[in-house]
Amino acid sequence: MAEKRIEAERADAQRTAQARGETPDEVLDRNVSEALQEIRVTITAVQVLFAFLLTLPFQSRFTDLGTFGTTVYAITMISTALSTVVLVAPVSFHRMLFRRRQKAAIVAFADRSLVGGLTLLLIGIGSAVLLVLDVVLGRGPAIAACAVIGTLGLVTWYLLPLRLRQRRSADPDS
């Protein structure tokens, strides 16, 4: 499966290179740089959320959360920690394969990691909002806000880009 993905990445780089007047290596270099930049942007959100979550259990009111609150906290903490690991993984992957002529593998891995890390981040953001608003506004408004944020994230992070991608695949000249 991984080999198929890497070969597909090389084929995409070849097509893009022809269309843009670049070499396949230039396309892969640019794709690696873009992926690492996307990670830099995304990891900031993860760091802020993770830092907030690390301090929460040390607050005096944390013990007042009850079963629902501590469960939501655990989900938030785990999804944010996993998001951190998955989003940082392409950096390690790049470093381990540095100067090994494995750019297609790095790009393919970074692509998967970014999508997975963003999914985990969306879960972390939604559950953090649920946790905080449950304390501030009550369970009903907290669940509603979490649903709105989750839906907005799904639509803007996944559905709209996938829809545009499908349109482009159907009509490459558009």
Sequential pLDDT tens for the chain (174 residues): 677 777 777 777 777 777 777 777 777 778 888 888 888 888 888 999 999 999 988 988 888 889 999 999 999 999 999 999 999 999 888 888 777 777 888 888 888 999 999 999 999 999 999 999 999 999 999 999 999 999 999 999 999 999 998 887 777 555
Q: Which residue do the tokens 């540095």 mark?
A: 98
Q: Whole-prediction pTM value?
A: 0.83
At residue 104, the pLDDT reads 82
N-term to C-term CA, the chain: 31
Contact 121, 101 (CB under 8 A): no
pLDDT at 174: 53
The 3-state DSSP class for residue 59 equals coil
The two three-digit tokens of residue 59, written as one number: 């607050």
Provide the 8-state DSSP code for 156: I
* Model pLDDT, residue 172: 59
Half-sphere CA count of 6, side-chain side, radius 13 A: 10
Nearest-10 Cα torsion for 83, 87, 90, 92 = -80
| Triad 155, 158, 163: Cα angle to 5° | 90
Domain residue extents for the chain: 2-120
Q: Angle at CA 171, nearest 5°, toward 170 and 173?
A: 155
Q: What is the pLDDT of residue 146?
A: 97
